[in-house]
Amino acid sequence: MKLRLTVGAALLAAACGGGAAGGPESPTLPSGERVYVANQSSATVSVIDAESGEILQTIDVTQFGFDANSRPHHTAASPDGSRWYVSLIGGGAVLQFDANNRLVAQAPFETPGLLAYDGTDDKLYVGRSMMAVNPPQRIGTIDPGSMEIEELDVFFPRPHALAVDGAADRVWAASLVENQVAVLDSGTEDLELADVAGPSHTLVQFALSPDRTRLVATTQLTGKLLVFDATRAELPLVAEVDVGTQPWHPVFLPDGSRVYMGAKDDDAVVVVDAERWSVLARITAPGIVEPHGSAVTSDGRYVFVSNRNLKGTYQPQRAVEDPAQVGTVVKIDTATNQVVQTIEVGTYPAGISIGPAGR
């Protein structure tokens, strides 16, 4: 079963008060790569220059008619950097921005969570938020040109983890409740359900290896990195690694040699050897507090990790009434596995992504 929804350009312009930007004019931005950080409890997105670590712009989504509980959760960028996206759990929408950080369009979607961009077929996939107790048993696929969205059945509760392999026309979504992964053919929309052995895992998020042969998943309840054979629809498990307490979003280096992820309740970033499937390092630093999202630069030089700091463990450089009001993004040099910069952002930074500075 498919549902189709769309928000037209005229409706969007009216909602934003007219004009293409849907808000104030954006400053001229430098070239390079951008880190897009969804600050879930401050209704903002921080746009960071990946090279300098400078916050180029903080976008408050309340200026577009959303309330303070809109809860920006995850971001994704198109391969050419011309568009980027953020999901709003409380706002019930996925927003599309241009390279100058101007709101262009939006698509309605109930409690959207993780995003995955298919650069081959130019589609954006969206799952459901972990905060949603009983959301529809469907994921969404968005046409970036029209922002028309179709909802695709996955036949299990609370679809959350999400990944896409555009070259193979394959999309994966996992249930938070059941040890099941939906394997979707994006061309035919045929669906297979793959069972995952073991106790209740609660799969949090996926990452696909650059050679497209391995799909890894972090597990909230069992503290593992599960490694699947991504070339087969039945998704056989080929390895598992004990990585710590509540591992969250994983990311591969571009050469496929390592996987980085935060162990949220350990206040650590874990580095896994993707050949031996063993832990290489555990990175700790003052700014690594309840790590959540992760993203890597295109050259593999830096990994960025967002940190919630909801317990107020990290003490911000600027004066605030409550340290928990300030989250962080740490910049890790992958040559040394050392934190080289701590960037203070909004409250509860969650999902992040990196994309080129488009035009």
Question: Measuring CA to CA, which residue among 330, 296, 332, 292 is closest to residue 308?
Answer: 292
202 vs 246: CA distance, rounded Å: 10
User: Which residues sit opposite 307 in a β-bridge?
Assistant: 291, 328
Q: Is residue 92 within 8 Å of 101, Cβ to Cβ? A: no
Whether the per-residue pLDDT at 18 is higher than 80: the answer is no
The residue-averaged pLDDT of 76-90 equals: 98
Summarize the confidence of residues 89-94 as an average pLDDT.
Answer: 99
- Other CB atoms within a 10 A radius of the CB of residue 106 amount to 27
pLDDT of residue 2: 55
pLDDT at 273: 99
- The residue ranges of every structural domain in the chain are 1-23+32-153
User: How many Å apart are CA 50 and CA 296, to the nearest integer?
Assistant: 10
Q: How far is CA 7 from CA 86, 118, 151, 195, in A?
A: 16, 21, 15, 36
Per-residue pLDDT at 3: 55
The pLDDT tens digits for 308-324 are: 999 999 999 999 999 99
pLDDT band of residue 5 (cuts 50, 70, 90) is low
- At 149, is the pLDDT very low, low, confident or very high (cuts 50, 70, 90)? very high
Phi–psi pair at 168, nearest 5 degrees? -105, 5
Residue 335: is its pLDDT beyond 90?
A: yes
pLDDT at residue 11 in the model: 40
**pLDDT over threshold 50, residue 184:** yes
pTM tops 0.75? yes
Q: Are 99 and 83 in contact (CB under 8 A)?
A: yes
Would the pLDDT of 255 be above 50? yes
Which pLDDT does position 67 carry in this prediction? 97
What is the pLDDT confidence band of residue 114, given thresholds at 50, 70 and 90?
very high
Question: What is residue 14's predicted lDDT score, i.e. its pLDDT?
Answer: 38
Q: Are 252 and 259 in contact (CB under 8 A)?
A: yes
The band of 358, judged by pLDDT with boundaries at 50, 70 and 90, is: confident
Residues 6+ apart with CB under 8 A from 295: 35, 251, 303, 304, 352, 353, 354
- Which pLDDT belongs to residue 31? 73
At 9, the pLDDT band (50, 70, 90 cuts) reads very low
The chain-wide mean pLDDT, for the chain, equals 94
What is the bridge-based pairing of β-strands 112-118 and 123-128?
antiparallel
Q: What average pLDDT does this structure show over 128-132?
A: 97
CB 70 within 8 A of CB 62: yes
- Residues 47 and 55 sit within 8 Å (Cβ to Cβ): yes
The class level of CATH for 1-23+32-153 reads mainly beta
**% of the chain beyond a pLDDT of 90:** 91
pLDDT at residue 27 tops 70: no
